[in-house]
A and B are shown apart, each in its own frame.
Chain A
Amino acid sequence: MNVSQLAEQLRRDHMFMKDVTRWEVLPARSARTAPFPAWLDPRLKPALEKRGIHELYIHQAQSLEATARGEDVTVVTPTASGKTMCYNLPVLSAILKNEDARALYLFPTKALSADQVSELYDMIEEMGVDIKTYTYDGDTPAAARKAVRQAGHIVVTNPDMLHSGILPHHTKWVKLFENLQYIVIDEIHTYRGVFGSNLANVLRRLLRLCEFYGSHPRFILCSATIANPAELAETLIGRPVTLVDENGAPMGEKHFVFYNPPVVNRQLGIRQGCIPVTRTISGMLLKNGIQAITFARSRLTVEVLTKYLKDLVRDPLGNAGKVRGYRGGYLPGERREIERGLRAGQVDAVVSTNALELGIDIGALDACVLCGYPGTIASAWQQAGRAGRRQGTSIVFFIASSAAIDQYIVNHPDYLLQKSPENALLNPDNLYILLSHFKCAAFELPFAKGDCFGNAPGTEELLTYLSEENILHEADGKYHWSAEDFPASEISLRSAASENFIIIDITDPARHRVVGEMDRFTAPMLLHENAIYMHEGRQYQVEKLDFDACKAYIRSVDVGYYTDADLNISLSLLDVEREEPFAGTAAAALGEIKVTALVTMFKKIRFDTHETLGFGHVRLPETDMHTTAMWWTLPDALAERMAGDRLKNGMMGIANLLRIVCPLYLMCAPQDVAVVYQVRSPITDKPTVIIYDNTPGGIGLAQKAFSMRDLLLEKALQVAEDCGCEHGCPSCTGPAGEIGEDGKRTAVRLLKELLK
């Protein structure tokens, strides 16, 4: 059965269709093309034609033209639309014209760079020219590094290596910096939050060095579909970009099926799990010979589903090999083999984490199953984009879990299908991040009085501060690095706080090994002594947490429970930046707060039944975090009318609703923002609901929340009103057991008052 026949059959299946909340058919789209631009080096055309490319899609052509005009370009491209052409063609053309020209390619992960480089190699080989493309990362052998520095026309690396391996040693890279024409950054939508804020500062450093060496590189950036690609790109590189977002690639008809597993316990609002449902649907695709990818959210789920599907086709002929799992933690060779198998059609089904969401080339598949909502619309479309050939029909199933976000999506399919409301946010001026990179910049090249650091504010204050701290030494208007430290080694680009805890497995006394890292604000929660720490599906118990040395020692265990620490959070106000009164005496404000976290105890919770087995004490120092926050204070009159627990329960309901809505509209992971309510807040002395940025210094989420504060309340109200439950459930305000019989009604009333 092919995809069209299967779709037809499912639509006639009433048992199936009763749980389908939406069956959307996205019509086929034909290709829109344009000829190769005249300025393209003549040697490129035959090489392209040999690969079957006779003209460009319009987005490729538009991007090339903008690049040729000397503009910085951001191309928004769905999966498999030939985005690499947008940067490979101008770069190759430039090097063919001038063999001294250099380009720098940045990819967020190593696997991705390996994939794109092999495509570049093919093109270069086809032309038979001497263009040297080198990957420079942690795996590059020391002996080869000199050649890369001297002779590499195209240097492919990642932000981490640029930050710690290239910029601080820029004098060894003279050739690259003096002749740098293009900086290519792929998958820029992955650079949000802390990682993006770090990258923006790495780029400030890079451009500062280019200026020193007299080069003026242009940017070519690629992004998956997000709401604000241009804004993201401009924040990353600190200058305006030309946006190219008209996709010219053809696409066959695509069915998008939203499936909500049936309720099995009406009382408690419990639905059938999304793993068994996914097992059935992916199994059906597999049995019909439809090549499909299934995305699961955790590594554990990937393994479980892979096993289920393998069992389904297991036979003496080794057909189980047609089903493969794919996730971080697999060895590179194994991953390449699976990717090849998918392209060649030897692998019929693959179950993956979001590891396969990025632009790794696996060809186009017939079907895609999303086991649970991946967290953002961009991810959902990236994953769904894995299904869909240029011709022929494809199908995507979204299987909702019982998580609140999933339930919102499956009941509001338009949220996913309409134009993305998500924003990718970053804040290069986060003081923690800025200060760290400013130090690196000062190490790399002394600042002079009046110098700028990209468009960062407060250069003068930063210089004064670092001089006061004797990290810089001022002489004749120049600030020289005068400390022994190597500042780039103090920052990890993927989290904000510089001191990370390392997690050491001591199960084997002869061979201690580092299994992971955790930032210092999360460590007390998950790595306190006796905590059960989960890593790659295995359980460990924390034996010792050395808070001063930032080390946690864990030992492998096999127990039937996990632990959950009680975090006591207290907030204090540092500064109010803006305050807007509304709805009578209510007010919304934006400001800076100090969050003090203290873990005092933890619960042991049994798997499956989730009953509490016991408690334990935790003795750890407090941790402080300065961050940005926004908050609503409720009108006095409203608060006075609600006696006792009613106000508290209503506010708890609102907080729960905002926890669902915020990650959706701020495009961040749920743990990136915190929502708390305080009946009598020490910040305002009034009943207050607070949203704060869970990253030290804040990455702009509070500002964004403040600017869309009415929308957030509207969406929170909508979730509550659209939910079928009567007295609250885990998918909206929280269950009545938590917020009281009246909680949901009160929350709705409060929200309506606030929105009046």
Chain B
Amino acid sequence: MNQAIPQAVDYIRILPEIVLSVFGIAVMILDAGLDETRRQKLPGMLALIGALAAVAAALFQSQYPGSAFYGMVQVDSFSIFFHVLVAAVTAIVILTSYEYLATQEIRAGEYYALILFGAVGMSLMSSAVELVLIFIALEISSISTYILAGFRRRAAVSSESSVKYFLLGSFATAFFLYGVALIYGASGSTSISVIGAFLRSGQVSLLAYMAVALMFVGLGFKVAAAPFHIWTPDVYEGAPSPVVAFMSTAPKAAVFAVMLRIMFEAAAPGRVWLIWVVAALSMTLGNLGALVQDNVKRLLAYSSIAHAGYLLMAFAAMPGNGIPAAMFYTASYAAMNVGAFAVVSHLGGAGERRTSLEDYAGLSRQSPVLAATLTIFLLSLIGIPITGGFFAKFYVFSAALQANLVGLVILGVLNSAVGAYYYLRILVAMYMREARVEVPSPPISLGLGAALAITLVATIYLGVLPGRVLEYASRTAADWAR
């Protein structure tokens, strides 16, 4: 480290984070200065511009790969992938939130600011290569989502969701921090590459195993992997739907990025069996739990646990196949899940009263377009060909097969069959059952329409032409190997 003072290029390497923070602060200031009527619209516009600017900044960043701030931050094709993903999800969630905040009568200002601040943390997680910085980024992202989960202030479930998430979440972060401390004790460093070199040198002590396990508990909680998943259904049920769309995809993607770095770059010991068990548990418990749900938000919460399980299978595979498979999965899961929750948030209506399976009965009659859109997302979640969900599963399963994890793959295939059943229940309700009470469904606003169109196109694009995204991800993995 010859230069004590950060260079200009260092700042470029955290440009998306800077952009998001600046826009977040601007949204708060703007909110304070506006009158009641304009407050609903302008902050959202500004936040949207901020998210899009962050996408642009991440793409711009790709010309300046390298590390910054004394090796704390690493900009490579991997980090750019996740930056773009997080910023894009943020933008889509903001688009969905316009209409939602208006129907729920939630004050807009801090909401958008918090989403942007959360995105700062998530972006930073994917480029941080130093465990303390990762911890800070994790906290930034988590604290924003704790607050966002409780944003339906008038609903008791929302407050419950927020408190539950906060208490359990802080507990989990403490685990992570404990793990960081132990690995520092074992290796004398908090830099992932140094730790990796240390672990590869062959002196793997009991301390290192414990450290990895503890870090895994903390991260496993954040991605809602079993057995650390108990919070998920309650939190997802209570939190505002657009927020669920956000926190079931963006922070998860970021945490998966961190896990990929720790598991593969640091060559974490004992990885395969740890992940085998957690992936198997997540798939099975998630799918079995989802079978008996009558609330669509809870159902999707359990489904997200199951999907975390499928995704984790990639972590047990070889880096060359596992990393691209996991990256592809996060992208396609983000597209389909954000889309599905966008529909759920639209249909929820005032106070999110209409979220049970019965409320979806006869939907194909009242709003055929919305029903058809949700159908595509659900088919993708099932894993039907020509949707992103199919190739996501395909790559993960074949990566696991190549690592000879036949048992895990069989379990995954069986779970997919079980999964088909409960997604089918939503389809059956929408198309084959009649509504008991005719509730006129509200018109789709421009923002929501745009959000649905983008996620729909992304879901189908990834299913019809998965090549480009996969090649990008494979190149990333190849870069790492060097």
Q: Do A and B bind each other?
A: no
Q: A residues near B, CB below 8 A?
A: none
